[in-house]
C-alpha cells in the first residue's frame, strides 16, 4: 500500500488545504499543465490515445477530456485506491495496472508530478517504462516541481503525502532523457511564475520560461 492509497478519498481536500493560500490553485495548475501539453503536441490532428501516467485520483482528466475530446484516455498509478476513485468519477477512462501497460500504444504520455515520488535509483527504469508505452513519434511531457523555488519548497514541506518526495532539478530530468537513446528532447522550460489570482500576468509567463525561479518546469520529448 502506498501513501496515496491512504489519502485516495481525501487527496483533493488535502491538496486544496495545502494550497489554501493560493485561491483556485488546484484547477489552475492542472489546466495549465494540459495547456502546455497541447502546445507541445502542436496544431496537427489530435492524439487518438493518451496515457495519464501517475494519474492519482484523476484531477487532470477533466482538462484532458476538454482539450482532447475525441481521444481515448487511459490512466495508471501505483495506488490502486486512487485509480478506483478516478474511474468512479470518470467512467469513460481506462484504468490500467502499471505492470500491464501495452507497448507502443499511446500517442501521448502525460507525466505530472511523478518522478519526485520515485526512488532516485528507480527513476531511469520509470522513464524507460513510459517510453515503452509510447508509439514512435509519440510525445511524453514530464512536469515536476522546481526545488529552486522557495514557495515550492515550503509547500512540499507542508504536504502530508510529500514526505517521501525528493525534488529534482530540471537538468536531472534532462539527464534521464539523454540516457534513453529512443528519446529526443524537444522543449525544457520553467513555468508557473504567478499565482492564479494574477490572471493578467499569466500571458507574460512564456517570456520567463528561461528563468529558473518558476514554481514548476516541464520537459517534452519525442520518441524516435
Q: Which element (helix H / strand E) includes 175?
A: helix 170-178
Going by pLDDT thresholds of 50, 70 and 90, the confidence category of residue 13 is low
Weakest-pLDDT range from 87-96, 152-161, 201-210: 152-161
Q: Are 161 and 3 in contact (CB under 8 A)?
A: yes
Going by pLDDT thresholds of 50, 70 and 90, the confidence category of residue 25 is low
Going by pLDDT thresholds of 50, 70 and 90, the confidence category of residue 17 is low
Residue 126 has pLDDT above 80, yes or no: yes
Whole-number pLDDT of residue 21: 47
Residue 190 has pLDDT above 50, yes or no: yes
Going by pLDDT thresholds of 50, 70 and 90, the confidence category of residue 176 is very high
Going by pLDDT thresholds of 50, 70 and 90, the confidence category of residue 9 is low
Burial of 137 (0-12, 13-18, 19+ CB in 10 A): exposed
Neighbouring-strand partners of residue 219: 142, 188
Across residues 6-35, what is the average pLDDT?
A: 64
| pLDDT tens-place string over residues 86-114 | 999 999 999 999 999 999 999 999 999 99
**DSSP letters along 74-122, please?**
EEE-S-HHHHHHHHHH-TTSEEE-GGGPPSS-EEEEEEES-GGGS-GGG
Residue 195 has pLDDT above 50, yes or no: yes
Q: What is the mean pLDDT of the chain?
A: 89
Domain coordinates of the chain in residue numbers? 3-223
Residue 20 has pLDDT above 60, yes or no: no
Look up the CATH architecture of domain 3-223.
Answer: 3-Layer(aba) Sandwich (3.40)
CA–CA distance, 196 with 189 (Å, rounded to integer): 19
Whole-number pLDDT of residue 23: 46
Amino acid at each position: 500500500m502506498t501513501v496515496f492509497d491512504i489519502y485516495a478519498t481525501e487527496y483533493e481536500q488535502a491538496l486544496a488545504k495545502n494550497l489554501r493560500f493560493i485561491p483556485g490553485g488546484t484547477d489552475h495548475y492542472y489546466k495549465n499543465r494540459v495547456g502546455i501539453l497541447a502546445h507541445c503536441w502542436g496544431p496537427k490532428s489530435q492524439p487518438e490515445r493518451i496515457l495519464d501516467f501517475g494519474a492519482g485520483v484523476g484531477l487532470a482528466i477533466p482538462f484532458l477530456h476538454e482539450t482532447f475530446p475525441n481521444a481515448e484516455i487511459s490512466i495508471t498509478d501505483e495506488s490502486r485506491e486512487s485509480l478506483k476513485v478516478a474511474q468512479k468519477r470518470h467512467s469513460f477512462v481506462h484504468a490500467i495496472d502499471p505492470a500491464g501497460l501495452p507497448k507502443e500504444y499511446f500517442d501521448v504520455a502525460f507525466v505530472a508530478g511523478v518522478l519526485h515520488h520515485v526512488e532516485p535509483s528507480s527513476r531511469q527504469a520509470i522513464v524507460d517504462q513510459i517510453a515503452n508505452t509510447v508509439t514512435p513519434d509519440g510525445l511524453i511531457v514530464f512536469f515536476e516541481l522546481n526545488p529552486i523555488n522557495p514557495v515550492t519548497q515550503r509547500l512540499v514541506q507542508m504536504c502530508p503525502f510529500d514526505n517521501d518526495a525528493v525534488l529534482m532539478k530540471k537538468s536531472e530530468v534532462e539527464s534521464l532523457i539523454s540516457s534513453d537513446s529512443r528519446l529526443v528532447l524537444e522543449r525544457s522550460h520553467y513555468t508557473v511564475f504567478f499565482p492564479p489570482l494574477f490572471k493578467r500576468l499569466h500571458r507574460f509567463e512564456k517570456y520567463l520560461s528561461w528563468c529558473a525561479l518558476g514554481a514548476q518546469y516541464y520537459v517534452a520529448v519525442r520518441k524516435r
